[in-house]
Structure 1
Amino acid sequence: MPPISEILQLVVLLAVAGCVAGFLAGLFGIGGGAVLVPVFYQAFALAGVDEGVRMKLCVGTSLAIIIPTSLRSFQSHYKRGTVDMKLLKQWIIAVPFGAIVSAMVIAYAPGNVLRAAFAVITLLIGLKMLYPKASKWRLGEDLPKNPALFGCGWLIGLLSGLIGIGGGTLNNTFMTLYNRSMLQAVATSAGVGVLISIPSFIGNVIGGWGHPGLPVLSTGYVNWIAVALIIPITLLIAPLGARAAHAVSDRVLTAGFGIFLLTISARFFISFF
């Protein structure tokens, strides 16, 4: 068992991560997974969790926490009338389907594959967000029709579930490419997070059930110690992020999102060395 000082350090680290994740959930419409996954990776390493299951545990635990965080963020944005409910209704099957497939992949894929996917996806999107003319990029003046729209929802659910995020990272990019404002994308992404996190959580519990390398108080790839520490903090902080999102311009929101993603990507690339 780690010394008391290390346990206290871990608790403080998780508490700070919870504050940051909750604020970002409201600010960017993300579930906070892009913050929690790298923090959990270091925390579980300190706790001696086997590297073969560490990343899977990070992803599963992050997605469990995203459930209440996304619900809280979605509620805050919905009250302000900025959520695209029509899109969410069209994705009610596509996004959860992708999330379920991601849980099946996690059950069998090596942890290094998940780490690489996390680093590459966040790098590409971060660069796109920071490119000066990226805000003017358009694939169309309105969202695509089915079956293309269904396929995009499925892909967002799949990729987000694989790297333990609530879908905001990908959905924000998708919606802005189709002429939607960053604010509306952020608000709608909170709802997408709900569609991803619930089926992903169930899938990761089943996929990791009974694995011998998991730490104490884990059910499948979900660690309940981390969940119990983070959820109350994120629920309190998420509305502050949503309030901040409505107080800044689209450009500031986009640039901040890009810097955040590049920082997280760099941290994961460094972990390979």
Structure 2
Amino acid sequence: MARVLVGVKRVIDYAVKIRVKPDKSGVVTDGVKHSMNPFDEIAVEEAVRMKEKKLATEIIAVSCGPPQAQETLRTALAMGVDRGIHVEVGPAELNTLQPIHVSKILAKLATEEKADIVIVGKQAIDDDCNQTAQMTAAVLDWPQGTFASKVEKTNGELTILREIDGGLETIKVKLPAVLSADLRLNEPRYATLPNIMKAKKKPIKKVTPKDLGVDLSPRIEIVSVEDPPTRQAGSILPDVDTLVTKLKEGGHL
């Protein structure tokens, strides 16, 4: 029986149109709807299914972020997670919080909580880094199963079907291990009202990166955040000869 640690990130909701701040220091977050990163929802669902199959004894969700990250943890608790850990990160440090910082936090908590499996979404939809699972596995020196679209547990091993360029790959990893959830791993459940009410009573522990001995000194400097250039309007050409001439001239279509 395994103990599972799940990473959940609070991100701007996928349906929101992103707006860049006038000073180009980042994107507008004030008054903007946030929710759990969709790939992390899949990670939570997989952990809950493991518990339902009696493959896991306890699920602990971890979120690094501002006080509002507790709302993301409550969502995870309402989906079936047992307890939450909020790693509070101040606004100044949040802009330069990177996967390397988060992976060190997750690795420390996995060790402290005696976790056997760490599951995170394959990437966050805000920065699209796709690095946290790999770095967490490296820090812990655990095997990793990334881009998992199917996970089965037998004899203390996990058999993972993973999506790779041009096909599917099946690997076996011994526990403890780190997984990242791909889109086709499962369909996350909606939290029911009774479970949302129960989630309010489940414990959330608050810690700081300093408590965990993790230094959040930025490894990057954000120079500028800008909107992508607007696409030029296309044009309709009368025939292939005109198209070839246009392309030879290096003109835009």
Name which structure has the greater RCO, CA cutoff 8 Å, separation 6+.
Answer: 1
Structure with the larger strand share: 2
Query: Highest CA radius of gyration, 1 or 2?
Result: 2
Asked if TM exceeds 0.5, the reply is no
State the TM-score, normalizing by the size of structure 2.
Answer: 0.29
Structure with the larger helix share: 1
State the TM-score, normalizing by the size of structure 1.
Answer: 0.28
